[in-house]
Structure 1
Amino acid sequence: MKITIAQLNYHIGNFSGNKTLIFDAIRKAKADKSDLVIFSELSVPGYPPLDLLDRQEFIEKCYKTVNEIAEQCYGITAIVGSPTINTNPEGKKLYNSALVLSEGKIIFSTSKALLPTYDIFDEYRYFEPQNKFSVFRFRNLKLALTICEDLWDEQSFDNEFEKKRLYTISPMNELAKQDPDLIINMSASPFAYRKTGDKAEIFKNKARKHKLPLITINQTGANSELIFDGASKIINRNGEIIRQLPFFEEVVETFTVEEIMEGIVKQEAEYKDPIELIHKALITGIRDYFRKSGLTDCIIGLSGGIDSAVCLCLAVDALGKEHVRALLMPSRYSSESSVTDAVKLAEGLDVKYDIISIEKPFRAFEEVLSPLFTGRQRNVTEENIQARIRAVLLMAVSNKFGCILLNTSNKSEAAVGYGTLYGDMAGGLSVIGDVYKTDIYKLSGYINREKEVIPVSIINKLPSAELKPGQLDTDTLPDYNILDAILYQYIELQKPAEKITGKGIDRETVEKVISMINFNEFKRYQAAPVLRISSKAFGDGRRMPIVAKY
């Protein structure tokens, strides 16, 4: 007997496209003489469908698509994920279900019991939790069929204040009472670069605890700001990974039940450098954001600094050089090296670029505002005017040529508000808004791993917004090594100020940074959607009040 894992890239609401992906995988599984093909959580509508689940016609299309898939399941059995209607008079109107399809119909269904409501997850908003547990008998096997969080009843969180057990029930403990032979977990688990190891340990621990082999099927690709890494696994009863599918790739692979049950480790799970995974994740995020939105071209404001340089390289890898253009907008404060470095990068990548000086519009603003500003010292106002001029120019090119503006602000800047609202915060997608500055440098090193793509002079340059004479980021901010250490402990680990420690970190600096984070919440509410690569990105996964005293 054979089992096929289908690790695919679904498109939310694209029932025709998702159905085609599933049909193709079923055909491949049949060609491999497979008996069972398994897809990931909510594979029919794509994950996460959010408030589309409130629409009756959306749910009707889910049912219609499931029936069409079932018609392909003659001579093979498939397990797909789809919302189903809760017919009980009480409770939420839907379940998050796994449906077993065979010979043109649904022969078994089960639903998700543990519905996460933390970080970016809000599943109890839509779904009723399953409260009955039953194994599925397939041929001579009893399958413990679970959905994502159902195996996450014990997990570690970055926040020390959080519990390790969020739920009062363990679905796998209940299913174990029925003596299953194999655990199957259908998931839609987003990528977080510090969590790939923890995620694997959850599955390995479950296999060890119940002394059962385990198959986990995760989706890949990106939907809006969420990026899914795939990396589906087969784990033996000893908690050893016997096969892991690639990160960020669509794969349909078939295994014999004998090799799954024997659990002989034929390959060690390959270690992946987190920076390599971040690089792949961001390229996946950009590519799918554009492809699934029906977009093709982008524009980037190229400053000669490291952030825009990294974003340009990522965009070229994701979209192709012919779909990327750059705009250089020097001012009276721009160094000559910033312009020459930006030109060198654009020409090296063979990207179309234009140079427009902002001097004339800046002078015009100075002139028209002069009567109002008489007697007042120059300050951040004049700096922000320059940033907003650049945003106007970028959006003009965006509108005229139909290319989406990619925002190039990093997470360190976004955290402390080191950016201009309606200026350098403009854009349709924030590429590196979840990447700390210190990791931007690591990314640049990874991009240059084989040859110099980003000029070394850009990497070695002291960070500066170049909005006034001699300006450096460190005029306003701590050194980025210190700043990022504070930010990580406060944002991801959610430590109180008195517990934030590290080399070069003092209490006064910590208090200043936290104050900047909290004060600038209003800016982040108006920022572009951020590609999520961490366990706590700005956006839906971090909900803070704008108006608060804390």
Structure 2
Amino acid sequence: MLRIAIAQLNPTVGDFDGNAVQIIDAMQRAAAGRADLVAFPELAVCGYYPGDLLEEPRFLRNIEAALERIIAATRALPGLTAVIGAPRRNTGPGKPLFNALLAVREGAIVAEYHKQLLPVYGVFDDGRHFEAGPEVACVLPLKGVRVGFLICEDGWNDDLRSYRVNPFQKLADAGAQLVLSINASPSDVGKRAQRHTLFRAACLRRDMALLYVNQVGGQDQLVYDGASFAMSPQQGLAFEAARFAPDFQLLAFEDSHFLRADGAGVPQLVDETLATPEFYRRQIILGLRDYARRCGFERVVVGSSGGIDSALTIALAAEALGPQNVVAVTMPSRFSSTGSVDDSETLCRALGVQLFRHPIADLVREFEDGFAKAFSAPLRGLPLENLQARVRGAVLMEYSNGFGALLLTTGNKSEISVGYCTLYGDTNGGLGLIGDLYKTEVYALARHLNAAASRELIPGAVLDKPPSAELAPDQRDTDSLPPYEVLDEILKWHIEGDRLPAAEARAVSAFVENLRGTEEGAALVERICRLIARNEYKRRQSPPVIRVRTRAFGSGRQIPIAVKY
């Protein structure tokens, strides 16, 4: 019987001491639990993904020093094999590094495998820094079990859809009985089910069991959900680790079956698929916690307009960091409704968040006067609307600089898509929590938070009022945009397309085709597509947003700014 420890860690890019401590602590815990094997995520030594830090000599020397420290620690743990992810230097032709898996036992490397499939699509850029490993299987016998190794993408091509090489097949040909895959697989809605479906099919096709060890935590725009799992042809999904949290678990493997650490059978798992709003909630909360922690912020500040976007952002931030670490600022202008301030007060009272009031009417008037004197023309229309947003953005940045709080921007994906936002105004900030949520999803998540709390965290008045930027008299979002129920379907069709889950993709496509069946509808779709294209320059200058869907703005969608298309 092979006893296996799963170390689902939350490493930080570049925190070599912290990452090494996590790894060594987990190895010692595995040894205390009489494990034969302990497995860690992909690139756990340096954190995933380090990007162009891999081109810095000092960064590489620190990787090697941390790895030496970890390898040395295994000398005190006889009988334990640690499977660790780290970059390794390539002394041959090609890129200078391999994305490597090292099996280490009692101070020695007993097996080394280099990732063969290097993704350069979506949010991935492995091919920028790593050389593909040789097209050979790496198999290590342990306690009578032939354990084969893969790294993340290597396991996603058993149907040969994306690459000509199939590392999974090579392990089957080499007689592997258990596939151990170490991963840094970012999370998005539907990703967990996709993993289970794909690897269940691969295990059945190759008659091999699989242990999938994933990273957890937020790193910049991406969130890793953990959810490490064990799969076998006979059992299906036999085990799953915690979602959105670090975890350490002991399992056993014998006769193609996963068992509990004491050798008893594992209980039948009940599928715990999260409702989409709850998935969004957990993903965003983990993303904010780790972003703030890694960047050295304890507190955040949010501009509170009294609208749904800022209300949801404040509520999520309060849950992630504690209401005592969230500050809201309401900044009424002469166009603000009474409700914008009242609703902000009601919201912050319900959440326990401190609210400051900083009117901007006098500041805006000074800008108007100065503009008229300098340019002999009144400031009105869109420039005046944008000025109000920029004054608010400046006030919030003053608070951020003055009190050391991270400014959270509050734009949603619908508005960001079509440029319904102001550069250096409401786009100011260090991170966007809801920038990958369409407006209709913002409402759904807000209602979900209220239902989960069994009370109105977000006031009903905020949920019910017509969306408005309140930058002009009686302004409504629908003055410039179609209803969000229509806009969001067009945006999903254009931005995500066939990246959507199959059923949603069909529904969205049918909706848009029906629109395009009329002259008015076709003109609307064309106008929205033009707005998306012409506002790329705004998105390029905006803060990162926490990714929750299959294609978020940022690294996952790279479009030129200066383009005629």
Instruction: Give the equivalent residue in structure 1 for 2:168.
Output: 172
Identity level (%): 38
- CA offset digits 1:431-465 (Å, max 9, x no partner): 11111111101110111112211111111111000
Residue 483 (structure 2) aligned to one of 479, 497, 501: 479
Distance in 2 (alpha carbons) for counterparts of 1:251 and 1:259: 26
Query: What is the DSSP-based 3-state SS (H/G/I as helix, E as strand, rest coil) of the residue aligned with 1:169?
Result: coil
Partner of 1:160: none
The match for 2:458 among 419, 441, 454 is 454
Give the Cα separation in 2 of the matches to 1:360 and 1:369: 14
1:121 aligned to which of 121, 124, 133: 124
The one-character-per-residue Cα deviations of 1:459-494 (angstroms, maximum 9, x if unpaired) are 111100011111110110111111111111111116
Does 501-510 or 469-478 show the bigger shift? 501-510
Partner of residue 548, structure 1: 563
Letter in 1 for 2:169: N
Q: How does 1:507-522 map to 2 (within 5 A)?
A: 507-522=522-537
Structure 2 residue 392 is matched with structure 1 residue 390: yes
Which residue in 2 is equivalent to 1:38? 39
Q: Decide whether the 8 Å contact of 1:207 with 1:238 is kept in 2.
A: no
8 Å contact from structure 2 (residues 450, 456) kept in 1: yes
Q: Which moved more, 1:471-480 or 1:51-60?
A: 51-60
1:46-67 Cα distance to aligned partner (Å, 9 max, x none): 0001011112222222122122
Matches within 5 A, 1:191-340: 191-238=187-234, 240-258=236-254, 261=257, 266-340=268-342
Indicate if the aligned counterparts of 2:8 and 2:216 stay in contact, CA closer than 8 A: yes
Q: Tell me if the contact between 2:306 and 2:344 (Cα under 8 Å) persists in the aligned partners.
A: yes
- From 82, 85, 89, the equivalent of 2:86 is 82
> Residue 5 of structure 2 contacts residue 250 of structure 2 at CA under 8 Å; is this kept in 1?
yes
- Is 1:102 matched with 2:102? no
**May I ask how many residue pairs the two structures share in their alignment?**
541
- Whether the 8 Å contact between 1:219 and 1:228 is mirrored in structure 2 is yes
Alpha-carbon distance in structure 1 between the residues aligned to 2:511 and 2:563: 22
Cα distance change of structure 1 residues 137 and 258 upon mapping to structure 2, 3 Å threshold? closer
Code of the residue aligned with 1:110 in structure 2: it is Y
Deviation at residue 136 of structure 1 after TM alignment: 1.6
Residue 41 of structure 2 is aligned to residue 26 of structure 1 = no
The letter of the residue matching 2:355 is Y
Give the alignment's Cα RMSD to 1 decimal. Answer: 2.0
Q: CA deviation at 1:239?
A: 6.8
Preserved CA contact (<8 Å) 1:207 1:213: yes
Mapped partners of 1:79, 1:134: distance in 2? 13
Give 1:503 deviation, angstroms: 6.3
Residue 422 in structure 1 maps to residue 424 in structure 2: yes
Per-residue deviation, 1:370: 2.3
SS in 2 for 1:71: helix
Q: How far apart are 1:262 and its partner, in Å?
A: 5.2
Inter-partner Cα distance in structure 2 for 1:55 and 1:139: 40
Which residue of the partner structure matches residue 502 of structure 2? Answer: none
Aligned to 1:57: 58
TM-score by length of 2: 0.92
Q: What stretches of structure 1 of length at least 5 have no aligned partner? A: 156-163
Shift of 1:362: 1.2
Partner of 2:6 in structure 1? 5
> Structure 2: how far apart are the matches of 1:364 and 1:376?
12
Report deviation, 1:268: 2.0
Q: Which amino acid aligns with 1:202?
A: L
Compared CA separation, residues 352 and 262, structure 1 to 2 (3 A): closer
Q: Runs of 4+ in structure 1 displaced over 4 angstroms?
A: 262-265, 371-377, 494-500, 502-505
| Partner-residue secondary structure (3-state), 2:218 | strand
Structure 2 residue identity aligned to 1:104: G
| TM-score, normalised via structure 1 length | 0.95
Counterpart residue number, 2:138? 134
Q: Amino acid of the residue matched to residue 341 of structure 1?
A: D
The Cα of 1:16 is off from its aligned counterpart by 0.5
Q: Distance in 1 between matches of 2:357 and 2:256?
A: 59
- Look up the match of 2:512: 501
Paired amino acid for 1:415: S
Task: Tell me, in whole angstroms, the C-alpha distance in 1 between the residues paired with 2:464 and 2:61.
Answer: 56
Report which stretch shifted further, 47-56 or 23-32: 23-32
Q: Distance in 2 between matches of 1:259 and 1:46?
A: 34
- Is 2:235–2:257's contact at 8 Å kept on the other side of the alignment? no
Say which is worse superposed, 330-339 or 34-43, in terms of deviation.
Answer: 330-339
**Structure 2 unmatched ranges of 5 or more:** 260-265, 500-504
